[in-house]
Homo-oligomer: A and B are copies of this chain.
């Protein structure tokens, strides 16, 4: 078990990641439909520049809430259910 401070720091990162409309959409999107890649996510969002999307995905992955898996020239994203369950099971509902 990690200590409380560390856990709080983690919680802040996760909640900060979810506290922005585009990122919350991405997180919800990925709980409904798994294994989407960068471009597929971008298409579902409409009107978000690639650089912006990359920025958001970085924050989501840095928080641990979503995992990325490289496959060829694609990167597939998935919600980390364990982290979601711990901090925001709302996503999985």
Chain A interface residues (CB < 8 Å from chain B): 8-9, 11-21, 24-25, 28, 86-90
Contacts and interface: CB of A to CB of B under 8 A. Distances in A.
Tallying the copies of this chain within the complex gives 2
A90 B21 CA distance: 21
Contacts of A89: 89
Contacts of A17: 19
Binding site of A, secondary structure by majority: helix, strand, loop or mixed? helix
Contact of A24 (B15, B20, B25, B90): B15
A12 to B, nearest CB: 5
30 contacts: A8-B21, A8-B24, A8-B25, A8-B28, A9-B21, A11-B18, A11-B24, A11-B90, A12-B18, A12-B19, A12-B20, A12-B21, A13-B19, A15-B15, A15-B16, A15-B18, A15-B19, A15-B24, A16-B16, A16-B19, A16-B20, A17-B19, A18-B19, A19-B19, A86-B90, A87-B88, A87-B90, A88-B88, A88-B90, A89-B89
